[in-house]
Every structure is written in structure tokens, then in C-alpha cells.
Amino acid sequence: MNVNAIRKVDGGVIAARGYRCGAVGAGIKTKAGALDVSIIFSDRPAAAAALFTTNRVCAAPVLYSRNLLRKRRTVRGIAVNAGNANACTGSQGMKDARRMAGLAERAVGAPAGSFLIASTGIIGRPMPMAKIEAGLRAAAAVLGDSAGHAESVRRAIMTTDTVPKSAAVEFRLGGRRVRIGGICKGAGMIAPNMATMLAFLTTDCAIAPALLRRSLREVVEHTFNSVTVDGDTSTNDTVFLLANGAAENAPLATPGREADLFRNALFTVAADLAQAIARDGEGATRFIEVCVTGARSESDARKAARAIANSPLVKCAVHGGDPNWGRIICAAGYSGAPVIPERMKLRINGVLLFKGGMPTRVPPAQLKACMSPRDILIHLELGQGSAERTVWTCDFSKEYVTINADYHT
Amino acid sequence: MNVNAIRKVDGGVIAARGYRCGAVGAGIKTKAGALDVSIIFSDRPAAAAALFTTNRVCAAPVLYSRNLLRKRRTVRGIAVNAGNANACTGSQGMKDARRMAGLAERAVGAPAGSFLIASTGIIGRPMPMAKIEAGLRAAAAVLGDSAGHAESVRRAIMTTDTVPKSAAVEFRLGGRRVRIGGICKGAGMIAPNMATMLAFLTTDCAIAPALLRRSLREVVEHTFNSVTVDGDTSTNDTVFLLANGAAENAPLATPGREADLFRNALFTVAADLAQAIARDGEGATRFIEVCVTGARSESDARKAARAIANSPLVKCAVHGGDPNWGRIICAAGYSGAPVIPERMKLRINGVLLFKGGMPTRVPPAQLKACMSPRDILIHLELGQGSAERTVWTCDFSKEYVTINADYHT
């Protein structure tokens, strides 16, 4: 089953069959008229999988949704608001989260306990529940599956993102057309900045909940969990994946060729979305892919790749167009991975800059040229094994400092 | 034995008896005439303790000095150059390091294997050994113990530091006057930036090598290892401590009241120097002390304090004068320490901003006032135990990005 069998399509979070969505402006974002409350709805029960922030300080909607999925395998939809994160809001926040789910369920006529919820925005302020209530009713009233509906929802979940983000693919399983689509919001952060990452994925594939969860876990580790803008992890980070079976394929339940195809398709969508988050990092002017190969373990490769991608010195160097091999080698050195300088080979956009423990002699013109593209591939070969890991990030600009220093609580 | 018995004095690295030093400009730094080669010399054999970078990519002088101290307990001095780090220089770098030590020994007439060495500056370029040789000879010829000598050496080890850094204290042990002094260079970084931290400490205390090493390890953990500017660890970080016994006190050999006094005095010097490094971080406009208390273990306290101090979001907020409790709580949440939001209390410069899982209601004027001093104390009480940890850092400014983006390899 080759990856070429996976074709990109339009439609985002409602590209798959059996989903509708709607968004309205409920006055929660400060900008007048901005879309901020949305509903994603499946016309039949959908198997649900989710991954949440590992931050010990979790927002109420994270606690609510995580708890719901301990009891239920299927849901009917997702209710989302932007503008208020419902985080650090105490017991009132938990009440508001439960109420938000209930309001969404009643608004669309779905049974109790059938909605996941997510929030993003300012933290430490009570949820404006009157606005949430009116917003959810209005969003339910405008549900649809047109391109305009998809567009409004991907915009409604944005905070300081500068571009809306969606992706979708199509492939065939046993003669049936199957689609996976999704939207996300990312590293454009909101006051007080939290870098909240939300991603909502939907598919019409018929797939067993256990396999769905496993596929999501594997894919997220190499996509959303491989994006880093400033190393901070938010209180609200959430990925939901719904699978409603509307494609009417023979249900996937066991590992194998078809399950691999599903996972590859899911990876394609998630990687598109995750890279879009890195490209839209606050103040970003360049996209950086850090690829560490030749590690003894994936954990070592991950440590080295994350240390490089999180180093402010490396990110500043890329911003300035400087092929600063020293900062990259140094970051690998302190990453905790047992690197051996003499075995490392470092390439930036294909140009070998470091080998045998020393810098190579690269003509200045070639040095400069390797940093001129907007996309920078930093490839560090450790020469110790065969494990590898890729991490996506962006450069560090004065604009990042401006955005994050000039906001006031 | 109270800390008041420890009195600050002048003299820096030659405040203690029996030390001389000298520095010259040997043309290794690019700025014409800048001091860049120095020697710190003890008139008798001195017990030596050292701590080095944990970076897997170590510079040749680190490898040389570490190896020397595996074989020798006493040394006669330290030879230092700034302008070239002798890092990522392969086997030639190791030869040059050995030669640098030998040149220093011959220049002062000390036996072979009696000099420690340290280098800071650009990496990946061969050491200019002719300049090193001439510089060490000239430095040996100007050794002395005047204030001018102390000043020249603390300047000679600077790279992009904006202020020279030294400290010294005096206390009494069994009727004898004992001194500990030192100099350091810090987070002002050099091309290609490595944030190299060098600290050279000297004392005239008579103290057994094992106790000296233990005291240094304990003190460095809470001083130099508690400074973070951008989380990066250099290839060259080095702390040396020499103890030549010239105070003629009854030698300290065992733990107890006198050993505690020595350690407290050493802490006073090292804390002064370490804080000076944070205050002089690249582009720094504010000094930040992050104090985490009430942790279940010191490791938890350290994780939380470092996560807060390394968060670009927190550092940007402090730069902008924003009492952004959300970013601080969030950083503690992802630090890996098992924090419990409901138990945390956060104060900035004494103002309680967060308690019981929620922000407090602080009048805007008080909120603003807590961020107006140049020094910001972030105190996070975890409410889980009695372990604590303090970390020092600085804010994150546009100037930091400018310094680090505009340099070219």
C-alpha cells in the first residue's frame, strides 16, 4: 500500500462524510464580530480518541473531556470556544465546562454525555456563560457542510494565529472512499500567552476504538508532539479524533496493511497541520526542520533534536541567516543524548558543515547560500545507530519578544 | 558560626595570600590591544578542585585540565586565554592545550603538570599558538598582586561581558585571617556564541583536597549551576578553586563548624559572581530570582525553578513589566515536577498573585508596582513539602535577539 494512494483534498474538518459544522461570533474574543464559538457535529455516533496536554495545570475542558472519554467510546461532536481558556478557574470552571457540554448537546439535540469540549484564550477569568450559551445555540442553528462552514470553523478557533490551518486526505479501503480531515490552531498565542494547540480531526472510516486510539497516539508523537515553538506546553493542548464509519468500509480492527494505510493517511493530515503551526509561530520568519539520525535510540534522537530546536541561540542564528554549526553541535552536546563529537556530521540544507569533530572548510558563498531558503533543514547524523527523529520549529525574531513583552495581563 | 563573620573585601582572585596574577594583550581577541592572556599563580603548591561543563562536546582545555586533576592533587596556577575557545579543534586542539600548559609552566618556572588551563572565545578555529606563547611569557613577566593586576586579569577573561566580575571575602579560622576570592566571565557570549562560563576561585585556607572538592561541588550546585541565561550549556564551562594554605590555619579536613564556615564563605563569593553573570546576560535589563519552595524534593524544586527561569514567555513578560502569573504557573506545570494547582501560591516581589488554583484579585496599581523594580523575585510555593531551590536569570529582550542573530559565523 503506497503513500501515493493518499490524495490531498479540500474540506478540512468536514471533508469526511457525515460531519457538519458551524461557527458564530458570540462576543468572547475582544475583537467585535470575531467568530469564537463553534460546533463540529457527526450525524451518527463516532468513535473518539483524544490526547491532552501533559501540563500538570490542566484547564477545566481538558479535565472534563478526558473524564468523559474514560466512560464513553463514542461521541456526537465537539464544542469549542476561543477567547477564554477556562483555565485556572477553580471549581466554577469545572461547573462551566460541564454546562458548556450540556448546552451543546441540547442545542443539537444530542444525548447527554455525547460532546467533547475545548477552550482557548485568556486564563484565570470566569467563562462568560451567557455568551457561551447564546453562541452554542446560534452555532447549532447554522450547522452545514459547505466550504463556507469549514472556513468559518477553522477561523473561529484561531487566537493570534495569522493564518487558518486545515488539511484533508482521501484514500480507498476495500473499494470504499475514506477521508480524514482536520483543523488546528497553534503557536500564535493568546493573553496570557499559553501557546495552546488545538487540533480536531474527523474521519468517515469505520475503525475500532482501540485501533483508532493507537493510531492517534503514534501519529501525534511524530507530528503535534514534534512541534516546538518555545518549549512551553499549554494548560489546554488538545487533539480530538472522531471516526463515524460513514464511509461504510469493512471496519478496521486489527493491525495490518489497511491499518497502516489509515495511519499513514492520518499522519499526512497531522503532519500538514503540525508544520503549519511551526510556520505560524509567533514572529516566525523561517521554518526549521531538525532531523537527527544515527542515534542509538529514538529517545536519544528526540533529546538531541528537541535541544537543537529549543535553543534560543540556534533559533536566533537561523533568524539572522547564520549557518552557526557551533550552536547546533553545542545543543546536541548538552541535550543529554550521549553524542560523540568525532562521529557527528552536520548538514544544513545539504551542505556539510561539521565532521570528525571539526568544522569543514566550506567556501563562504556556499555557506551563505545554504541559509538563504525560507525553509531550513538541519540534519545531524550522530553515527551511533539507526534511530532517528524529526522536530519542527521556527526562528526566533525580535517580533517574538515584542509580541510577548508588550502584552499586559 | 554566623554568616556575619564573613566580611566582603577587595582583591578578587588575588585577595587571598600567596597569589599573584598578570594579563597582557596578545592579539587573540580581534579588538586591538585588548587583554586576552592571563596567568594566576600561587607561590606554593595549592590543592585544586574543579568542575567542568557537562556538555558532551568538550573543549580541549577542559579535557586537558580534567585529566590533569585525575593525576594531581596540587597545582601552581591557571593559564587562561580569551578570543579562541580551542573547541571543536580535533587532535591539534589537544596538542595545543598540552603545549599551552607547558608554556605557562616554563614561563613561571613551575614544574611540568602544575598548570590548569582554560580558554574562551570562538570555536572551530586552530589556536594561534605563536600568540599564546608570546602572551604567556609576557604575562609571566608582569605577575604581581596589586589592585591593578587583579583588575587586568578580570578584564582579560571577558568576552562580550559588559562588566568585569570579581568578589572576595574574609573570615577567621582559629585566629587566622582566611580569604577566598574569585573572578568570572559569563553569559556575555562570543562568536559563535557558547555562553561560556569561566570562574577562578582562590583561597589561602589550608584545607584537605577531599573537603575542598566537596565544598566546591556543594556550592557550585547552588550558585553557578543555578544561573541560566538561555538554557544553553557551553563546551568550555569551567570552575577552578585553588587553596594554597598560606593563611596557615590548622588544616581543615573534616566536616563540622569550621568546614561549614569555609563553605558559607565560598558560597558568598560564588553567589556574588553567579548573580553578576545573570545580571550581565546578553541584552539583560532585569535580574530575576526564581525561588521555588514547599517541594517534595529538591529535584522537584529545581525542575520547577529551572522551567520558569528558562521559559522565553516568562522572560519576555518580565522584560515587558507584566506580572504574568499564567506563564509562571504554566511553566511549573510542564516542568515535570508533580505540582498541584490548588496548593500553589505565587508571589512576585511579595505580591500574592495566585492561590487556590486561581488568580487573586490584586488592584491594578499594586500589580504594576510589583514589577517596577529592576530586580524581580518570583516566589512559587508548591505546598507539598519543605524542599526548595533558587535559580537566577535575566529577562529576554530584543537586544538578545539582535546580539545573537546579527553575528555571523
pLDDT single digits (tens) A103-133: 999 999 999 999 999 999 888 999 999 999 9
Instruction: Kindly report, residue by residue over B98-123, the tens digit of the pLDDT.
Output: 999 999 999 999 999 999 999 998 88
Interface test with B, best of A58, A88, A343, A384 (most B CBs within 10 A): A88
Q: How far apart are CA B100 and CA B82, in angstroms?
A: 13
Instruction: Kindly report, residue by residue over A231-262, the tens digit of the pLDDT.
Output: 566 788 899 999 999 999 999 999 999 999 99
CA dihedral sign, ordered B43, B45, B51, B57: positive
Reading the block at residue B276, the C-alpha cell is: 553578576
| Chain-chain contact of A310 with B354 (C-beta, under 8 angstroms) | no
**What SS3 state is found at B343?**
helix
Compute how many other C-beta atoms are within 10 angstroms of the C-beta atom of residue B126. 13
Average pLDDT across chain B, whole number: 92
Model confidence at B192: pLDDT above 50? no
The radius of gyration of chain A from alpha carbons, rounded to an integer in Å, stands at 22
pLDDT score at B227? 86
Residue B223, min C-alpha distance to chain A (Å): 19
Task: Give the active site residue among B53, B120, B159, B196.
Answer: B196
Instruction: Kindly report, residue by residue over B340-381, the tens digit of the pLDDT.
Output: 999 999 999 999 999 999 999 999 889 888 999 999 999 999
Model confidence at A189: pLDDT above 90? no
Residue of B nearest to A324 (CA): B409
Average pLDDT over residues A211-229: 91
Q: How far apart are CA B165 and CA B180, in angstroms?
A: 15
B235 touches chain A (CB under 8 A): yes
CB B75 within 8 A of CB B116: yes
- DSSP letter at A59 equals -
Residue A332, min C-alpha distance to chain B (Å): 8
Q: What residues of chain A lie within 8 A of the CB of B59, using their CB? A: none
Give me the percent of chain A exceeding a pLDDT of 90.
78
**Helix count and strand count (H, E) for chain B:** 11, 15
pLDDT score at A82? 96
Average pLDDT over residues A57-70: 96
**What SS3 state is found at B209?**
helix
Average pLDDT across chain A, whole number: 92
Q: Within chain A, what is the greatest distance between any pair of CA atoms?
A: 69
Which of A312, A322, A342 is opposite residue B409, by nearest beta carbon? Answer: A322
Residue of A nearest to B53 (CA): A334
Model confidence at A190: pLDDT above 50? no
ipTM value > 0.90: no
The 3-class SS string of A183-212 reads: EEECCCCCCCCCCCCEEEEEECCCECHHHH
pLDDT score at B193? 42
**What SS3 state is found at A372?**
coil
Task: Give the active site residue among A53, A120, A159, A196.
Answer: A196
Model confidence at A191: pLDDT above 50? no
User: Quick one: B66 exposed, middle or buried, by C-beta within 10 A (0-12, 13-18, 19+)?
Assistant: middle
- How far is CA A72 from each of CA A114, A116, B199, rounded to the nearest angstrom? 8, 11, 59
pLDDT score at A310? 86
| Chain-chain contact of A312 with B407 (C-beta, under 8 angstroms) | no
Q: How far apart are CA A127 and CA B399, in angstroms?
A: 38
**What SS3 state is found at A168?**
strand
CB A347 within 8 A of CB A322: no
Residue of B nearest to A402 (CA): B398
Which of B232, B313, B359 is opposite residue A311, by nearest beta carbon? Answer: B232
Which of B124, B334, B341 is opposite residue A358, by nearest beta carbon? Answer: B124
Which of B89, B334, B357 is opposite residue A233, by nearest beta carbon? Answer: B334
Reading the block at residue B367, the C-alpha cell is: 500589580
Q: What residues of chain B lie within 8 A of the CB of A304, using their CB? A: none
Compute how many other C-beta atoms are within 10 angstroms of the C-beta atom of residue A2. 7
pLDDT score at B191? 33
pLDDT score at B328? 94
Reading the block at residue A210, the C-alpha cell is: 482501540
Instruction: Kindly report, residue by residue over A367-408, the tens digit of the pLDDT.
Output: 888 999 999 999 999 999 999 999 999 998 887 777 777 655
CB B30 within 8 A of CB B168: no
Q: How far apart are CA A273 and CA A345, in angstroms?
A: 30
More confident residue, A191 or B173: B173
Q: How far apart are CA A181 and CA A171, in angstroms?
A: 12
Q: What residues of chain A lie within 8 A of the CB of B53, using their CB? A: 334
Instruction: Kindly report, residue by residue over B151-167, the tens digit of the pLDDT.
Output: 999 999 998 888 999 99
Instruction: Kindly report, residue by residue over B276-312, the tens digit of the pLDDT.
Output: 998 988 788 999 999 999 999 999 999 999 999 988 8
Q: What residues of chain A lie within 8 A of the CB of B407, using their CB? A: 317, 320, 322, 324
A196 is catalytic: yes
Give me the percent of chain A exceeding a pLDDT of 70.
95
Strands B37-52 and B74-84: antiparallel
DSSP string, B238-297: EEEEEE--TT-PPPB-SSSHHHHHHHHHHHHHHHHHHHHHHHTSTT---EEEEEEEEESS
Q: What residues of chain A lie within 8 A of the CB of B398, using their CB? A: 398, 401-402
| Chain-chain contact of B124 with A310 (C-beta, under 8 angstroms) | no
Interface test with B, best of A122, A189, A234, A404 (most B CBs within 10 A): A404
Q: What residues of chain B lie within 8 A of the CB of A58, using their CB? A: 333
pLDDT score at A205? 98
Which residues sit opposite B289 in a β-bridge? B377, B392
A235 touches chain B (CB under 8 A): yes
Residue B372, min C-alpha distance to chain A (Å): 14
Average pLDDT over residues B186-195: 50
Structural domains of chain A sorted by starting position, each given as residue range(s) with its CATH number in brackets: 3-279 (3.60.70.12), 287-406 (3.10.20.340)
Average pLDDT over residues A266-270: 97
CB A205 within 8 A of CB A262: yes
B237 touches chain A (CB under 8 A): no
Contacts of A337 (CB under 8 A, 6+ apart): A295, A300, A301, A303, A304, A307, A382, B56
Q: What residues of chain A lie within 8 A of the CB of B63, using their CB? A: none
User: Quick one: B209 exposed, middle or buried, by C-beta within 10 A (0-12, 13-18, 19+)?
Assistant: middle
pLDDT score at B49? 98
Which of B232, B329, B408 is opposite residue A330, by nearest beta carbon? Answer: B232
Angle subtended at Cα A285 by Cα A279 and Cα A286, rounded to the nearest 5 degrees: 60
Side chain identity, residue A132: I
Q: How far apart are CA B327 and CA B306, in angstroms?
A: 13
